[in-house]
Amino acid sequence: MRIEMEFLGSGTSSGIPTIGCDCAVCMSSNPLNKRLRSSVLFRIGAGDDERRLLVDVTPDVRMQMLRAGVSSIHGVLITHTHADHCHGLDDLRGLYWGGGRVPLELWAYPESLESLKQTFAYIFDADYDYKGIVKLDPHVFDQEPFDLAGIEVLPVQVIHGSMRVAGFRIGECAYITDTNEVPPESIAKLKGVRLLILDALRRAPHPTHMSLPNALETAEKIGCERVFFTHINHDLEHEAINNELPEWARLGYDRLRVAIEEDGTISVTEPAASDLPPPISF
């Protein structure tokens, strides 16, 4: 079965450009340096049978869904509840309406679900007296694989400072954001992944994120054929960094689509120039 991951966003928590910054990357006219907050859309299968799973609900989710041309999804996976990964939760209502008002399945670690219930109490309040909100069908996972819309999803626990974050493996694809360390038992769970998206914040070490050298080393340990980096900050200029990376590693960017096709080949689909973010505004 074909499995695609579309970069809905590839930027760090502030997005790039960052408010108030006039560095060369934030001021760049290259659309590949424009980064909404990190998120991917898994598209599994094709045609009417395609299953669309959204990983994280960023503050940019409305724009991300509009530009991806997506009005309905089959479920939501939450990596963790830092603001850049879940503060778009209210905007899921558009996808709830687009999906025929069937409560949206949302999967998270138990502590992440608790955190969402605190931050978005009204969404989880069955007595909330206003119709214009998303209805969710929440579920929790821990270490074991689970079924979401007929797709087997394997959660992979990684370390993000003092907290844990869920990576997600589907078949030979995996998405791992916000981590400074992938522990050995999780490397083992990722063996056989051929196509990986992985956190790489910047060149220099960071206490809660992978640096570019850490990320390359981790991808080598996993043994994937191709890796694309995400959650990128304004230290990394797209073209300059790609020129120094090995052939099998690249910076991801918004709207890039990478997939394992039905016949097992890995495909990389670049967006048309007209689909890229314009030079100044979004």
Binding positions for Zn ion, rule: CB under 5 A: 13, 18, 21, 23, 26, 82, 84, 178, 234
| Helix, strand, coil % over all residues of the chain, rounded to 5 | 25, 30, 45
Comparison of 3 and 230: residue with beta carbon closer to Zn ion: 230
Cβ proximity to Zn ion, 239 vs 262, nearer residue: 239
Longest dimension (CA), the chain: 55
Mapping DSSP to helix (H, G, I), strand (E, B) and coil, where does residue 275 land?
Answer: helix
Nearer to Zn ion by Cβ, of 23 and 46: the residue is 23
CB of 84 to Zn ion, least distance (A): 4
Residues 178, 165: Cα–Cα separation, whole Å: 7
Taking the complex as a whole, how short is the minimal distance between the CB of residue 183 and Zn ion, in angstroms?
17
Cβ nearer to Zn ion, comparing 138 with 161? 161
Which CB atom, from 60 or from 178, has the smaller least distance to Zn ion? 178
CB of 17 vs Zn ion, minimal distance in Å: 6
Minimum Å gap between C-beta 81 and Zn ion is 9
Strand order in the sheet with 257-260: 136-140, 104-108, 75-77, 51-55, 39-44, 3-9, 257-260, 266-269
How far apart are alpha carbons 9 and 37 in whole angstroms? 5
- Distance between alpha carbon 52 and the CA centroid of its chain, in Å? 13
Nearer Cβ to Zn ion (172/235): 235
Task: List Cα–Cα distances, 132 to 36, 103, 129, 135, 204, in angstroms.
Answer: 26, 13, 9, 10, 44
Min dist CB 13 to Zn ion, Å, is: 5
CB of 30 to Zn ion, least distance (A): 14
Closest CA to 33 of 280, 219, 216: 280
Residues 105 and 138: their CA atoms lie apart, in Å, by: 6
Q: If we measure between CA atoms, which residue out of 83, 55, 9, 262 comes closest to residue 148?
A: 55
User: Which CB atom, from 18 or from 242, has the smaller least distance to Zn ion?
Assistant: 18
Per residue, what are the HEC states of 155-224?
EEEEEECCEEEEEEEECCEEEECCCCECCHHHHHHCCCCCEEEEECCECCCCCCCCEHHHHHHHHHHHCC
The least CB distance from residue 49 to Zn ion, in Å, is 32
